[in-house]
Each structure stands twice: as C-alpha cells, then as structure tokens.
Amino acid sequence: SQQGEEDPQALSIQEGENATMNCSYKTSINNLQWYRQNSGRGLVHLILIRSNEREKHSGRLRVTLDTSKKSSSLLITASRAADTASYFCATAFSGTYKYIFGTGTRLKVLA
C-alpha cells in the first residue's frame, strides 16, 4: 500500500481562499516533501520538511509535520488560479533509496 496518502482526493475553492491538504504515512521518515504537478507535466518540488522540524514556510506555503500522528499538511494561502494543479507528498526514510509518493490531491482554484 502507499506510504503516503493524501486527503482530500480533490478540492475546489475560490480564488483568494486558503487550501489545505493532508498527507498520512505509515513508517518513520527522514523527511517529507511536497510536489506540485500541473496537468500532464512533470513534478515540481515545493518544500521539504525534516523529521525534526514541525513547521516550515515558503512564500504562501506552510507545511506542518506531526511525527506522532504520522501526518503532514500543506496550506496554500490566498490561492490563485495558477495554483490549480495536483499536489503530492513524498516520504523518504533511512536505509532506502526510495521516495514513496502518495496518490495526490487535485486542487482547482476558481477565478
């Protein structure tokens, strides 16, 4: 089964609203990363949060990590139509070369 599971699967909001998506995982991790994918394109790295960090910011993005609950959330504030994309979390854990990707959240921002 997938290490990372995003929730919700799809989200539709109005421009200017905040968007929150969540990721849950199963085993201990070194870090957790969030990626964005525009329709039919490759993934773009957004932010990396290490297992000893609880919160991280990058521009309009805020990521939290709760290792006790094995979950992370990505908040996009003041969303724009250009934020319309799929968002994936990816987890990496020690002793392996694998990044495990979730199935993604499809975000639609309506102008």
- Contact flag: residue 101 with another protein (CB under 8 A): yes
**45-64 residues near another protein, rule: CB under 8 A:** 45, 48
Cα 12 off chain centre by: 16
Of residues 21, 79, 85, 93, which one binds another protein by CB under 8 A?
A: 93
- Binding test (CB under 8 A) with another protein, winner from 72, 88, 107, 109: 88
Q: Decide whether 75 or 92 has the Cβ nearer to another protein.
A: 92
Nearest to 31 by CA among 8, 63, 6: 63
Decide: is 67 part of the binding site for another protein (CB under 8 A). Answer: no
Stretch that binds another protein, among 16-24, 59-67, 72-80, 97-105 (CB under 8 A): 97-105
- The CA–CA distances, whole Å, from 81 to 36, 45, 88 equal 14, 19, 18
Residues 56, 64: Cα–Cα separation, whole Å = 6
Residue type for position 85? A
Q: Strand, coil or helix: what is 17? A: coil
Which residues bind to another protein, rule: CB under 8 A?
2, 30-31, 33, 35, 40-45, 48, 88, 90, 92-94, 96-99, 101-104
